[in-house]
Amino acid sequence: MRAAGITSRAHPLWLAYILHRLSGLGLALFLPFHFWILSLALTNPARLNGFLAFTDIGAVKLAEFGLVFLLAVHMFGGLRLMAMEWLPWTPPQKTLAAGATALSFLIATLFLMQAV
Amino acid sequence: MKAHMLKVTIERGPDSRDVFDVPAHESQTVLDVVSWVQQNADPTLSYRFACRVGMCGSCAMMVNGVPRWTCRTHMSKVLKDNAVTIGPLRNLPVVKDLVVDMDPFFDKWVGAEGVHHGSLTRDDPIAAIDETSETRVEANAGIECINCSVCYAACDTVAGNADYLGPAALQRAWTLLNDAKDEGRVAILDAVSGSGGCHNCHSMGSCTTYCPNDLDPMTAIAGLKRETAKSFFRRGR
């Protein structure tokens, strides 16, 4: 890469792209492990219980938040990409759609905060 | 001349950069700075420009890592701690200093069938065009491209795949596909659905973000993705 570096990546569209890719990569690494653990329910229940005991640890709970975050980010990233590429939006429509998504996310978060 | 000096770093090769002290002026553009260096500090500095007013598209360079028309970029906009780094456009072979070889860029323009596919002769009457039709509006959205290669330099997909046609060429293909006077539909769809075609695009959007003419190649490429997919499912019809 050339000396000046590429600072031209610092914009929302590129960040959305990289978030989608990295979350996908994270899930791809995690899922085989996840399915293997689930398979223990059939092959080795005692070992599964051992793994389930881990979920009481705070750090593991935090990591689970991370996984749910990855899943959510990846799903919305994919929906965003499909909507953007397969529907002939005009720029104002894109802005409106992004605004509506942000607003509904805000309201959903408010409800969540109230529940907690 | 003001006492105020700017620290200007110019990339002249992969590992070679020269630093110049350039006097600051009001309303000074990046091109003014490059010209000052060539005229007053180092006459061997090579760079390219023509119109100086954002019409010709020949003065694009990387300014602090962002592709820009240097003639339409004020120094006040890009200075960081009174300094700026200027380099040749990304994704194109460097001829010398700030001059890049634009051939790959223009070859891809033709590779994407960005040429007129006419069916009439000069003896035919001029076909009437409905300026308000959906396809004409779509075509008009992209015709102000002046081939400056800023989008091409901004695109990471171009950087990673030498065969990728790039945003400018694909946008021109989309413009022609929507042009009632162009008869190249099959040729265009063929050209843009190949291995270097529109489906390589990851919708990173740097093309649209940095186009100095406020064009939207990313949306044009999305249009090509839809049209090539439709054509595939209809088996070319």
Q: What's the CATH code of the domain at B159?
A: 1.10.1060.10
Residue B210 has pLDDT above 60, yes or no: yes
CA angle A86, A88, A93 (to 5 degrees): 115
% of chain B exceeding 70 in pLDDT: 98
Say which CATH number the domain at B68 has: 3.10.20.30
The DSSP output letter for B180 is T
- Looking at the fold, whether B42 and B154 belong to one and the same domain comes out as no
For A28-50, how does the pLDDT look when each residue is reduced to its tens digit (9 = 90+)? 999 998 899 889 999 998 999 98
Q: How far is CA B7 from CA A17, A100, B72, B174, in A?
A: 35, 45, 20, 42
Residues B198, B172: contact at Cβ < 8 Å?
no
Give the pLDDT score at B135: 93
Cβ separation B66–A7 shorter than 8 A:
yes
CA distance A92 to chain B (A): 13
One-letter amino acid for residue B92 of the chain: L
One-letter amino acid for residue B148 of the chain: C
Residues in chain A within 8 Å Cβ distance of B66: 7-8
One-letter amino acid for residue A60 of the chain: V
A96 band by pLDDT with thresholds 50, 70 and 90: very high
Write down the pTM of the prediction: 0.88
CA distance A9 to chain B (A): 7
Give the nearest chain A residue to B14 (CA atoms): A2
Residue A5 has pLDDT above 80, yes or no: no
Residue A7 has pLDDT above 80, yes or no: no
Of A22-36, A58-72, B71-85, the least confident: A58-72
- Looking at the fold, whether B206 and B122 belong to one and the same domain comes out as yes
Residue A63 has pLDDT above 90, yes or no: no
- Taking the CA atoms of B172, B177, B182 and B186 in sequence, report the sign of the dihedral they define: positive
- Looking at the fold, whether B112 and B227 belong to one and the same domain comes out as yes
Give the nearest chain A residue to B150 (CA atoms): A8
Average of per-residue pLDDT across B60-76:
96
- Looking at the fold, whether B82 and B199 belong to one and the same domain comes out as no
Last residue of a domain, one of B70, B100, B130: B100
Residues B98, B87: contact at Cβ < 8 Å?
yes
- Looking at the fold, whether B114 and B219 belong to one and the same domain comes out as yes
* Nearest alpha-carbon partner for B167 in B211, B207, B134: B207
- Looking at the fold, whether B133 and B218 belong to one and the same domain comes out as yes
Q: How far is CA B179 from CA B63, B95, B154, B172, B211, in A?
A: 35, 36, 27, 10, 22
Last residue of a domain, one of B100, B133, B151: B100
Last residue of a domain, one of B100, B127, B151: B100
Residues B158, B164: contact at Cβ < 8 Å?
yes
For A66-90, how does the pLDDT look when each residue is reduced to its tens digit (9 = 90+)? 889 999 999 999 999 999 899 888 8
Of A53-67, B87-101, B114-128, the least confident: A53-67
Give the pLDDT score at A2: 46
d(CA B213, CA A2): 25
d(CA B57, CA B168): 13
Give the pLDDT score at A3: 38
Give the pLDDT score at A1: 38
Tell me which residue range forms the domain holding B27: 5-100
- Looking at the fold, whether B226 and B120 belong to one and the same domain comes out as yes
Residues B100, B58: contact at Cβ < 8 Å?
no
CA distance B40 to chain A (A): 24
Average of per-residue pLDDT across B125-153:
94
* Nearest alpha-carbon partner for B228 in B179, B194, B181, B180: B194
- Looking at the fold, whether B94 and B22 belong to one and the same domain comes out as yes
- Looking at the fold, whether B83 and B136 belong to one and the same domain comes out as no
- Looking at the fold, whether B59 and B137 belong to one and the same domain comes out as no
B221 band by pLDDT with thresholds 50, 70 and 90: very high
Residues B201, B218: contact at Cβ < 8 Å?
yes
* Nearest alpha-carbon partner for B100 in B110, B90, B108, B86: B90
- Looking at the fold, whether B146 and B71 belong to one and the same domain comes out as no
If one compares B105 and A12, the residue with the highest pLDDT of the two is: B105
Indicate if ipTM > 0.85.
no
The domain tally of chain B equals 2
Q: In this structure, what are the phi and psi dihedrals at residue B62, rounded to the nearest 5 degrees?
A: -85, 120
Q: Give the one of B14, B66, B223 whose C-beta lies nearest to A8's C-beta.
A: B66
CB pairs under 8 A between A and B: 71
> Whole-number mean pLDDT of chain B?
94
- Looking at the fold, whether B96 and B108 belong to one and the same domain comes out as no
B3 band by pLDDT with thresholds 50, 70 and 90: low
d(CA A29, CA B82): 45
B71 band by pLDDT with thresholds 50, 70 and 90: very high
Q: Provide CB contacts within 8 A for A76, sequence distance 6+.
A: none
The DSSP output letter for B87 is E
d(CA B116, CA B29): 36
Chain A: residues touching B (Cβ < 8 Å): 2-9, 11-14, 17, 81, 84-86, 88-89, 91
Q: How far is CA A75 from CA A24, A71, A82, A85, B52, in A?
A: 9, 6, 11, 15, 46
> Whole-number mean pLDDT of chain A?
88
CA distance A81 to chain B (A): 8
Average of per-residue pLDDT across B171-186:
95
Give the pLDDT score at B236: 56
Give the pLDDT score at A58: 85
Average of per-residue pLDDT across B157-183:
95
